[in-house]
Structure 1
Amino acid sequence: MKRFLTIIPTLNPRVALLGALIPAILVSYATLSPAASAEESATESSKPTTSTSTEEPILIPRSVLFGNPQRAGARVSPNGKWLSYLAPVDGILNVWVAPIDDLEKAKPVTKDKVRDIRGHYWAYTGDHIIYSQDKAGDENWHIYVTDVASGETKDLTPLDNIHAQVQDVSQKFPTEILVGLNDRIPQLHDIYRVNILTGDRELVQQNEGVAAYVTDDDFDVRFAFNYTPEGGTVLMKPKVAGNTGEGAEWEEFIATGPEDAMNTGPAGFDKSGNVLYLQDSRDRDTGALFAINLESGDKKLVAEDPRADVGSMIVHPTEKTIQAVSFNYTRDEWKILDEAIRADLNYLETVEDGEVIMTSRTLDDKYWTVAFMLDDGPIKFYLYDRANKKARFLFNSRDDLDRYQFSKMHTPVIKSRDGMNLVSYLTLPPGSDPDGDGVPDKPLPLVLDVHGGPWARDEWGFNSSHQWLANRGYAVLSVNYRGSTGFGKNFTNAANGEWSRKMHDDLIDAVNWAVDEGIANRDKVAIMGGSYGGYATLVGLTYTPDVFACGVDIVGPSSLVTLLENIPPYWVPFMPVMKVRVGDVDTEEGKAELLERSPLTLVDKIERPLLIGQGANDPRVTQIEADQIVEAMQAKNIPVTYVLYPDEGHGFAGEQNRMSFNAVTEAFLAEHLGGEFEPVGKDFEDSSIHVPVGAKDVSGVAEALAAERLKMPPKEEKAAAAAE
């Protein structure tokens, strides 16, 4: 039986409130690739294959897996008039809009020429698109609005050096949104009411020193949220209802200790505004969903699961009733709370094979846009007509994926040495597992692909990196090590102070499991990952130098001290949590302890080849982290290859930059693990790639680059990239 994967429509940022308040600090949004993406390749290897499980699969071009999608992110306008989606314009993702009944009349309405637009949603006017954009990966986000009729785009936050964020939208105020701006104090976001038609803004709440505010559909500030010095959280309400201005007094409403801080927090209001939905792990392990009546104080359990925290919710667009709640252990499982949508979900089961993602719905709830997620094929987008129980196919994320042979994703649960369950995801090369039991007919080279965060998680579904590496002949394993979110507070808290310790032990236990099961060849195991996964890679090569044949570190910190000393200003409110979870950089004892767990300290232990990728504008893991470990390795004559992008930040968002880095990566892995690889070809064209160190150590790299790209990019090149 097919299962449902449905999320709250993206009209309202408040529905993801808990995730916004408790960030995945180091997670990279585009480290390697977007799932199921790419423009159609024009290379010879793009030709259709008739490969079967007994034939040698052809190489899937990197352009198919890591280029921009042909179409993605279908949305229906709240008034049911328009359909929107993302698609390239001259190679850059922009927003396209069509009449709801005629997709053929779609046209681009945004005009970004430098950097992909990676997400969008409709304003409640039904005639305006809202999206965020930064420059060259600096994460100085601006909020833009585009008038669909005129094509005019307006910057609603035309200020320098800001990190703007949409605080709230409401159908009650279709021409206005709430925006958080940190222009007054970089560490704090004030809340403004912004008119999307004129750009005029009015101060609603001056931030008096808290991490965030919680607002409702009336655009009223209802709560203030902060982190305590001990690493816990406190949700505060005004002592006098409605009085949140300067000098207002606040009182504690809900407080958590550090043990519950990651699993407890607000998740929105009902229609009346008198009921607060709350994820809560206090007096339990997993975060369950509760409803608190703010007038009577009554607290009611809505949904729970003993294995997993509450995940996504389906919420009615106007009534604000919670219709279904998901829990994701190995895969999403749903609890339907409102029988009104059961028939709809039952029908959608019959449309395609795959998990259903609801991406938007109209205010009258007559139309939904839905996407079907597979683990071995493209995402399929549909428009669903509820009244007629009919789903109309819109498009695939790519039309050419059926030319290639993809692999299924297995979901093993691996035991750690101290008895923890590590939910993991395994992909094997096509044809290597004839009986489909998740064990190949002979041990294979293995790539351990470590997720960022660390307060995030790996999930089931189409994974471009998994499919790419499996196609090249590798088993690919992703492990939800302790500290990964979604598995209850005990699992999260087990990672406190365990960077390079038990968190790394979990990864080693997974490698040993793969070897013992006959999946992996012990002498041919690579470790790679982005952000925290990059740190894990460096830990792997320094703390356990004999385990891995090679490593690929992408935007990973090499020193926990310099990481915590060079944070973006808006991380400051979260730093008490970092002291509990990672360590205290403010004391000499704390620094010493952090240095003990920093790969930079043990750089002379590195014995195996290392590839490092870095964005010059990364505000989270700054270029210092890559520069200092490369310099230390050079000083000790330890080989390293360093790839640097002057126009990227925390991850490689640009299509050609992704393509170029993955070209280097697969040649690097082939040399040290023995798998197949597609030559560099033209994948360095239109990329900003520089390889100042170790280019000659990777096949085809030095030959494909001009001499100036074999040096550090000049400062003026970085400045020009940031100014674009």
Structure 2
Amino acid sequence: MTATDTAAARVSDVELILRDHLFGNPTRSGGKISPDGKWVSWMAPWEGVMNVFMAPFDDHGDARRMTSATDRPIPMYLWAPDSRSILYIRDKAGDENFLLYQVGLDGKEEKCLTPFEGARVGLVGGSETIKDRLLVGINDRDPRFHDVFMLNLTTGELDLVFQNDEWAGFEADDSLTLRWAMRQNASGGTDMHEITDGEVAEEPTESTGLDDALTTAMAGYTTDGNTLYWLDSRGRDTAALFAQDTRTGERRLIAEHPKADIGSTLRHSQTGEVQAWSATYLRTEHHAIDPGIGKALDWLRERLDGDFGVQSRTDDDRRWLVWNDPLTTPIKSYLFDRDARTLTEFYTTRPELDGAPLQPMHATEIRSRDGLALPSYLTLPPGSDPDGDGVPEEPVPLVLDVHGGPWARDTYGFDRNHQWLANRGYGVLNVNFRGSTGFGKSFINAGNREWAAKMHDDLIDAVEWAVGHGIADREKIAIMGGSYGGYATLVGLTFTPEVFACGVDIVGPSNLETLLETIPPYWEPLVKQFHERMGDPTTEEGREFLRSISPLYRAGEIVKPLLIGQGANDPRVKQAESDQIVSAMERDGVPVTYVLFPDEGHGFARPENNIAFNAITENFLAQYLGGRAEPVGDTLSASTAEIRAGREIVGMAD
């Protein structure tokens, strides 16, 4: 019996966690407290679709459904600042043209506040003192640029504040006055122009180059407008938190971390002053500035296992909604009364996972061949690591799960993919390769024009690390991911065709030249950064470079099985990106399985579709890595999945 056979035998005795329990609708999620503290709200399924519910704070069992979505889950909602209504966004079939909707506390009338077909709304500014207004951006006039409107939440009226013909973004203060307009400069950095009496200054007051573009930005004003906060990496590596006196221009350093950018902050609900901050290198660290906030965080830390954070607060800051990730049990939310020092369980997101064999995640650094430290996360199959040191007794099959972006990052904590794949018998490894965000500008910029080169070398180095440490069986390693992770999968099977046993590409681009030709129009104000970080399609040299790092032109190199999932309405990575590499592989006689979802966009939002693709994925992985799989069953018929090619490859021949 081989080492992987032994590992599979151990896993076979462990309870199989059902796909529905991990990827179906949660029982509750997205909890919030109304600003006035009278209500609590959450997301929960209705007619099989996630909708918004609310209840009195003191009787959250007296629930009232507020929304009536029946096709796709509502992706995001928030309380209006005056606590008199709930706001939420929705798109159509994944096209990402999000419109803004409102429903009053009686839940009887839902209305669209931005009824513009093909347009997309964005929040520009809110206020602690003007409770019935919001600044919103809408790109109905020109899809490239968002005009700024004042939205009256009582009447629904939209009044034009600023017609935008060139700017990528804006910053407003608490009076809902536009103070800054931002646009990209020739280097791919950001120019920031002050706005006075509605007029934008001709010359920028603040600027960054490309190196600081992703790590320097304004972080909002205090309510009185006297302080402007910055997350700023200029003159340093990691983004630090600064407070700037708007009268004198003097800046004061508030917080910094040697290895990570400053992440989130807690702000005083009335003054807007920063009270606490966090930074995440391998794990998240919380640091309080305000003594009262520090005592509250310490009190919670003593009572909650694992990681936690504040997800909602009342205007008077007496009541908090706190999330808690115990890491090997389901995520919970609690209502915290700061005065009474009481912690009341609000809900468990997925109670069906109580008692399930969830596995711990290990945070570690992996060294790249040129010396970069790559923050990474590993989860091992149950029973494979009795002493819990992050190294199995014998090598196991491994799935290298690559994050999207690439200007994003993986983090520590409960991860559905990790738990799912570990339960099926695989080690699961996330790697923050160069180009990932959160670790300072040098780490991001080390990925410039390194797609399919050093960025991919980091992934290969992680594979070698896993093999060299006795974690992974070299012959049974898969690569998978979505968006950039899908591209990385295609690169893995074309540029390094012998390393991986198989690959799973979800909405990944195959041709970077056509990817950049078809980006959404509202990304156009930022396109220079894409050109500088990826390659410039406006020059012949740049086009040739993009072709040289595009997997499409190496499709004939693929010798290992490939599974592709794609949404037909994806505005970022068009369906053509998957169509063209599937056509090239079929032309060259290379087997591929291709699953298309006609009602999805950039990823699979409907649980029925996500579960169906994961059913195909785990049976695909079982065939080539030797893990176990829950039968496909009727998941395909419950979804809109269209298997365009390779049905027989995953054992679903007609």
Q: Which TM-score band applies after superposition, normalised by the shorter structure? A: over 0.9
Instruction: Choose which of 341, 344, 352 in structure 1 pairs with 2:293.
Output: 341
Pair 1:243–1:169, CA change in 2 (3 A): closer
CA distance in 2, matches of 1:670, 1:307: 38
Q: Deviations over 1:54-102 (max 9, x none)?
A: 9821211000010111001111101111000000001100000000011
How far apart in 2 are the matches of 1:86 and 1:528? 29
Deviation per CA, 1:254-307: give whole Å up to 9, x if none.
Answer: 111111111111111112112111111111111111111121010110000110
Q: Secondary structure at the match of 2:30?
A: strand
Q: Identify the match of residue 315 of structure 2 among 348, 360, 363.
A: 363
* Matching residue of 2:154: 197
Judge which range, 398-407 or 503-512, deviates more. Answer: 398-407
Between the aligned partners of 2:611 and 2:11, the Cα distance in structure 1 is: 29
**Distance (whole Å) between structure 2 residues aligned to residue 499 and residue 348 of structure 1:** 43
Instruction: Name the amino acid aligned to 1:390.
Output: T
C-alpha distance in 1 between matches for 2:172 and 2:162 = 10
Which aligned pairs between 1:213-224 and structure 2 lie closer than 5 A?
A: 213-224=170-181
Of 533, 557, 575, the match for 2:485: 533
Q: CA RMSD in A?
A: 1.2
Matched to 2:198, the amino acid is N
Question: Which residue does the alignment assign to 2:211?
Answer: 259
Offset at residue 188 of structure 1 (A)? 0.3
Which residue number in structure 2 is paired with residue 6 of structure 1?
none
Alignment partner of 1:631 is 2:583: yes
Residues 1:317 and 2:272 are matched in the alignment: no
The correspondence for 1:662, drawn from 614, 631, 639, is 614
- Residue 115 of structure 2 is matched in structure 1 by 158
Q: What is aligned with 1:276?
A: 228
Q: Distance in 2 between matches of 1:398 and 1:562?
A: 40
1:614–1:651: 8 Å Cα contact kept in structure 2? yes
One-letter identity of the residue aligned with 1:242:
D
- 2:5 paired residue number: none
Once residues 509 and 331 of structure 1 are traced to their aligned partners in structure 2, the CA distance between those partners, rounded to angstroms, is 22
Deviation string 1:620-639 (CA, Å, 9 cap, x unpaired) is: 00001000000000001100
C-alpha distance in 2, partners of 1:166/1:199? 15
Q: Which moved more, 1:507-516 or 1:251-260?
A: 251-260
Q: What amino acid is aligned across from residue 93 of structure 1 in structure 2?
A: M
**Whole-angstrom distance in 1 between the partners of 2:243 and 2:253:** 6
2:95 is the counterpart of 1:143:
no
Q: Is the 8 A contact 1:351 1:391 kept in 2?
A: no
Counterpart residue type for residue 494 of structure 1? A
1:210 paired residue number: 167
Residues of 2 paired with 1:319 and 1:231: CA distance? 35
Matches of 1:376 and 1:103 in 2, distance apart? 27
Partner Cα separation in structure 2 for residue 54 and residue 471 of structure 1 = 7
Deviations 1:399-435 (A, max 9, x none): 1212310100001100000000000000001111000
Q: Which residue type is aligned with residue 100 of structure 2? A: I
The answer for the alignment partner of 1:114 in structure 2 is 71
Cα deviation, 1:374-399, whole Å, max 9, x if unaligned, reads: 32221111111111111111110011
Q: Say whether residues 1:90 and 2:64 are aligned partners.
A: no
> What is the aligned counterpart of 1:642 among 594, 604, 618?
594
Q: Is residue 301 of structure 2 the alignment partner of residue 301 of structure 1?
A: no
- Percent of pairs with identical residues: 51
Amino acid across the alignment from 2:494: T
Distance 1:558 1:382 in 2: 44
* Corresponding residue number in structure 1 for 2:197: 242
Tell me the number of residue pairs that the alignment of Structure 1 and Structure 2 aligns. Answer: 645
The DSSP-based 3-state class of the residue aligned with 1:278 is strand
> CA–CA distance in 1 between the matches of 2:198 and 2:252?
28
In 2, the alpha carbon distance for the partners of 1:373 and 1:191 equals 38
| Kept in 2: contact 1:127–1:149 (CA 8 A) | no
Matched, 1:472 2:444: no
In structure 1, distance between residues paired with 2:634 and 2:22: 16
Q: Tell me, in whole angstroms, the C-alpha distance in 2 between the residues paired with 1:614 and 1:555.
A: 5
CA offset digits 1:479-515 (Å, max 9, x no partner) = 0000000000100000000000000000000000000
Structure 1's unaligned 5+ residue stretches are 1-52, 704-724
Higher relative contact order (CA 8 A, sep 6+): 1
User: Tell me, which stretches of 5 or more residues in structure 2 are unaligned?
Assistant: 1-9
Match of 1:484 in 2: 436
Which deviates further from its counterpart, 611-620 or 204-213? 204-213
Say if 2:173 and 2:223, in contact at 8 Å, map to a contact too.
no
| Matched residue SS, 1:583 | coil
Q: Structure 1 pair 497/55, CA: closer, same or farther in 2 (3 Å)?
A: closer
Name the residue aligned to 1:523.
475
The residue identity in structure 2 corresponding to 1:201 is L
* Superposed displacement of residue 159, structure 1: 0.6
SS of match in other structure, 2:76: coil
Match of 1:722 in 2: none
CA contact (8 A) 1:656 1:685 kept: no
Q: Match of 1:393?
A: 345
CA separation in 1, counterparts of 2:348 and 2:182?
A: 41
Following superposition, the deviation at residue 329 of structure 1 comes to 0.3
> Residue in 1 aligned with 2:186?
229
Give the secondary structure class of the aligned counterpart of 1:189.
strand
Q: Which residue of 2 aligns with 1:30?
A: none
Letter matched to residue 348 of structure 1: L
1:349 aligned counterpart, secondary structure: helix
Cα shift at 1:132: 0.9
Structure 1 residue 242 displacement after superposition: 2.4
Q: SS of the counterpart of 1:97?
A: strand
Give 1:150 shift.
Answer: 4.1
Match of 2:543 in 1: 591
AA at the equivalent of 2:288: I
* Structure-1-length-normalised TM-score: 0.88
For the structure 1 residues 382 and 585, does the alpha-carbon distance in structure 2 shift closer, same or farther, using more than 3 Å as the test? same
Deviation string, structure 1 residues 229-267 (Cα, Å, up to 9, x no partner) = 2111111113xx3232xxx53331211111111111111
Q: Deviations over 1:10-50 (max 9, x none)?
A: xxxxxxxxxxxxxxxxxxxxxxxxxxxxxxxxxxxxxxxxx
CA–CA distance in structure 1, aligned partners of residues 337 and 355 of structure 2: 31
Could you tell me how far 1:173 is from its partner in structure 2?
A: 2.4
Answer whether contact 1:70 1:88 (CA < 8 A) is retained. yes
Question: How far apart are the structure 2 equivalents of 1:195 and 1:579?
Answer: 39
What one-letter code is carried by the residue in structure 1 that aligns with 2:609? N
In structure 1, what is the equivalent of residue 140 of structure 2?
Answer: 183
Counterpart CA distance in 1 for 2:604 and 2:363 is: 28
Q: Which amino acid aligns with 1:428?
A: L
Distance, in Å, in 1 between the alignment partners of 2:634 and 2:300 is 42
The amino acid of 1:430's aligned partner reads: P
In structure 1, how many angstroms separate the alpha carbons of the residues matched to 2:597 and 2:62? Answer: 38
User: Which amino acid is the alignment partner of residue 112 of structure 1?
Assistant: A
Q: 1:229 to 1:397 in 2, by over 3 A?
A: same
Conserved? CA contact 1:143–1:166, under 8 Å:
no
Q: Normalising by structure 2, what TM-score?
A: 0.97
Once residues 382 and 152 of structure 1 are traced to their aligned partners in structure 2, the CA distance between those partners, rounded to angstroms, is 30
Q: Which residue of 1 aligns with 2:328?
A: 376
**Structure 1 position 131, deviation (Å):** 1.1
Aligned: 1:677 with 2:629: yes
| One-letter identity of the residue aligned with 2:332 | K
2:643 to 687, 691, 701: 691
Q: Quick check: 1:124 aligned with 2:77?
A: no
Alpha-carbon shift at residue 172 of structure 1 (Å):
2.3
Any idea what SS the aligned residue of 1:676 has? coil
